[in-house]
Each structure stands twice: as structure tokens, then as C-alpha cells.
Amino acid sequence: MLLEAREAEINTSDPRALALAYGSRLLLQRLGAWQAIPNVSGIREIEITQKGTPGKTTLKASELKVPEMGYVLPYTALHAALQQALHQSDIRCLYGAAVSELNTAHGCATLTYQHQGTQHQLDARLAVVADGGKLLEAAHPPQITDYGQSGLIAHVNCTQPRAGMAFEHFTPQGPMALLPYLDGYELVLTAAHDAAQEMLNWDDATFLTFLQKHFGDCGCDTLLAQPADCGSSVGAFTAIGKRSCFPLRLKRAPDLTFPHTVLIGNAAQTLHPVAGQGFNLGLRDAWELAQVILDHAPDNIGSAAMCKAYRQSRRLDRNAGIRFTDGLVRLFSNDLPLLGPMRSAALSLLDHLPLAKKFVARRMMFGANG
Ligand SMILES: Cc1cc2nc3c(=O)[nH]c(=O)nc-3n(C[C@H](O)[C@H](O)[C@H](O)COP(=O)(O)OP(=O)(O)OC[C@H]3O[C@@H](n4cnc5c(N)ncnc54)[C@H](O)[C@@H]3O)c2cc1C
């Protein structure tokens, strides 16, 4: 049974486009949800660069023998497709049901939830906590790494969009990504909280000029330069849609399981979006949990042995995902004098090491469990 706090079934207004890895497409296909998602843009190459230095690495789907490395799609469309798949299953869904407590006793989990102004209780052999992380926070405080950064997202247009090409650009202020989507790019730009808030208030022209300089490495010293005067891998930025901002933190639950309880998705780990891994990792949590449940007899669902099997199945992939994104942010978000040239050299070196490149790309597409 699904208890969902939101009132209506399809009411998410999240404006984001999400980057999904090729591996997630395969999982969604098996669930019958992929086919229903419209407006999907494929990522066939990812160019990784560092501001102000020449080093770069390009990951290519053709070198990895996959049709695409990933996809960019509207969050709302993904949500609707999963909702439709849920309808076709025999899972009972209760909307407007906000869980306020979760306790365990007498061999089961007891959930207390409010629905239509009344409090209810539900006993279950196994509670799967997928609430994004609030419910168990007080009882089991997560480890938090505050990067001091916010993520600003928006759709941008430019004069020379390159179909299927995504860009990951590291700057001392934080990483930025351009994900190919429809007629332009989804921008994910990270900056210190104050700077990001200030950028939200800039008029479009000031923002586009900043973006040109930030991404284009055009050598302009002033925000007064016109975007069209500056060159970048995608030409000049010409338009920007609505900007939104999210605080970025790494949040890691102290454990993935508690008696008769497992955590998945952001409730288990909330990642920095630097490599677009969060939803992908959460989907793999859900997939592997389903496998573990199938591997156990109904009487053993929620048992200590089943919880242990889930913990073990997720340990490697979870730790690798956390280390990968956290490491990228720490390594690249600074302007320490010697590190810049070393990082640049490392990017160039990686570009010439096919096996190492393949390792990085496969981790991004399929996670550490392959
Ligand atoms: C700026 C930004 C960009 C990102 N880009 C990407 C990307 O490109 N690719 C990617 O893979 N990931 C990306 N992510 C991460 C991704 O958004 C998250 O990993 C994902 O949304 C987590 O999903 P979730 O279902 O675990 O949690 P949530 O999305 O938080 O969903 C939680 C659900 O639980 C419900 N709920 C909450 N509390 C209760 C309660 N008490 N009772 C009942 N129901 C409750 C909520 O209504 C909601 O439906 C990005 C994140 C940010 C901030």
C-alpha cells in the first residue's frame, strides 16, 4: 500500500528537466514506464572541462557501444508515466495521506498517518521510507555535508546548440552543467547561497552575459560585454526561462535499514546534482529492493535477514555514488593555485585512457553494481 502526502494523483509542478542515465532507461522500460514519456532528448556525448584551462575529456556513447549515455526529460512527464504504471499494478494508493510516525513493535512496523482530517494506523511487515528524508530525521539524524552552495536551474537557448551533447564545466564557484533539451539546454549552475539568490534577481540580459563569461571562457573582464561578442562551445546564449534555486547538501541516513523498515531514494541519500545521479541511484535502490523482496518468502519480508540482504545489495553502489559526487564537488570547487593545472592535466590524460574513460562512463550509466 502506498501512502502519499500529496492530495491529487498528478499534481507535481516541479519545473525541472531531469538527466537520466541509460541504465535507468532500461529499468523504466522493464516497468513499462519509459514508453509513455514524451519529449525525451538523448545525450550522446558529455564534454567535461574546467574553467580557464585547456584540459578536457569527452565521453561518447559510440565508444561505449550504447545508443545514448543518458536522457533529459521533464520531471512532470516521468512522474506521470510512473503514476500510470502504478495504476496498472495492483498496489493500493492512498493520496493526501501524510505519515507522521513510524514505530516498530511486535514484529511489524506501525505507521501513523493523517487522511481526510482523521488519524489512522497501519501495520506492515515492511515499511519502505521514500519520503525524501524528513520522517526519520529526528530519530535517526543523517550525516550532513553542507557545500554552502545552491543549484540554480533554468532552460537556456543559444545560437549553436549541439544536438546530443552535454557539458559539465567545473569552476571555482562550483560546477555547472548544460544538458541538451528540446531547442536548447537545461542549465544547472551552482554558486554560494548568497550569489545564487542574487542571480535569481538579475534581469535576463545580466544573467546571460554572466553565463557567457562563466561558460565561454571568452576573456571578457566585465559584465557589460554583449553575449554575442563572446564565443563558447554553443555560441552565444540568447534567452533564459524561469530561474529556480535549490540548496545543495549531501545527506546520508546513518543506516539503510531499521527493524521492519528500509530507506530508498533521497530518504537514504541526498546527493549534490553535479553528475545528475540522485534519481538514478534512487531508482536502483527501488529496483534492488524489489529483487530482495522477491528473493524472500512472504513470511520473511521485513525480517532482519531480508533487511540485511537489502543493505548488502546497496552498500557498494550507494557508497560509490556518494563518493563520486562528493569527490567531484570537493576536488573541483576551489581555485587552489596548483590544483587547477593538475586537474586540467588529469582531464586530458583521462581523455587518452579508453579503459579509464569507460570505467567512469559505465559507473555514471549503470552504477557500481553494473
Ligand atoms: C537542482 C537539482 C537538480 C537535480 N537534477 C537531477 C538529475 O538531473 N538527475 C538525477 O538523477 N537526479 C537529479 N536530482 C536529484 C533528484 O531530484 C532526487 O534524487 C529525487 O527527486 C529524489 O526522489 P525521491 O522520490 O527519493 O524523493 P522526493 O522527490 O523528495 O519525493 C518524496 C515523496 O514523498 C512524499 N512525502 C514526503 N513526506 C511524506 C510523508 N510524511 N508522508 C507521505 N508522503 C510523504 C512527497 O510528497 C513526495 O512525493 C536533482 C536535484 C536537484 C536539487
Q: What is the pLDDT along the chain (370 residues), one digit of tens a residue?
A: 999 999 866 666 777 899 999 999 999 999 999 998 998 999 999 999 998 888 899 999 999 999 999 999 999 999 999 988 988 899 999 999 999 999 998 899 999 999 999 999 999 999 999 999 999 999 999 999 999 999 999 999 999 999 999 999 988 888 899 999 999 999 999 999 999 999 999 999 999 999 999 997 544 433 434 444 445 789 999 999 999 999 999 999 999 999 999 999 999 999 988 788 999 999 999 999 999 999 999 999 999 999 999 999 999 999 999 999 998 888 877 777 778 888 888 898 899 999 999 999 999 999 998 8
For the beta carbon of residue 3, count every other beta carbon within 10 angstroms: 19
What pLDDT is stored for residue 16 in this prediction? 83
Q: Which atom of ligand 1 is nearest to the CA of 130?
A: 26
Ligand 1 center to 357 CA (angstroms): 29
Q: Which atom of ligand 1 is nearest to the CA of 16?
A: 3
Q: Whole-model pTM?
A: 0.92
Ligand 1 center to 128 CA (angstroms): 15
List all residues whose CB is within 6 A of at least one atom of ligand 1.
3-6, 16, 18-19, 98-99, 130-132, 134-135, 151, 153, 188, 246, 265-266, 273, 276-280, 282
Ligand 1 center to 281 CA (angstroms): 11
Q: How far is CA 186 from CA 176, 182, 353, in A?
A: 10, 9, 29
Residue type, 350: L
Instruction: Work out whether strand 2-4 and strand 176-181 pair parallel, antiparallel, or are unpaired.
Output: unpaired
Q: Which atom of ligand 1 is nearest to the CA of 131?
A: 34
> Considering only CA atoms, which of 326, 321, 309 is closest in space to residue 284?
321
Q: Whose CA is nearest to atom 1 of ligand 1?
A: 151
Residues forming a β-bridge with 118: 115
Ligand 1 center to 131 CA (angstroms): 8
Q: Which atom of ligand 1 is nearest to the CA of 179?
A: 8
Name every residue whose Cβ is closer than 8 Å to that of residue 74 and which is 6 or more positions away in sequence: 16, 17, 18, 39
Burial track 165-178 (b if 16+ CB lie within 10 A, e otherwise): bbbbbbbebbbbbb
Q: Which atom of ligand 1 is nearest to the CA of 278?
A: 19
Name every residue whose Cβ is closer than 8 Å to that of residue 181 and which is 6 or more positions away in sequence: 17, 41, 72, 155
For ligand 1, mutation pick of 86, 266, 281, 318 (most atoms within 8 Å of CB): 266
Q: How far is CA 147 from CA 127, 171, 188, 340, in A?
A: 31, 14, 15, 20
Q: Whose CA is nearest to atom 48 of ligand 1?
A: 131
CA atoms within 13 A of residue 100's CA, in its CB half-sphere: 10
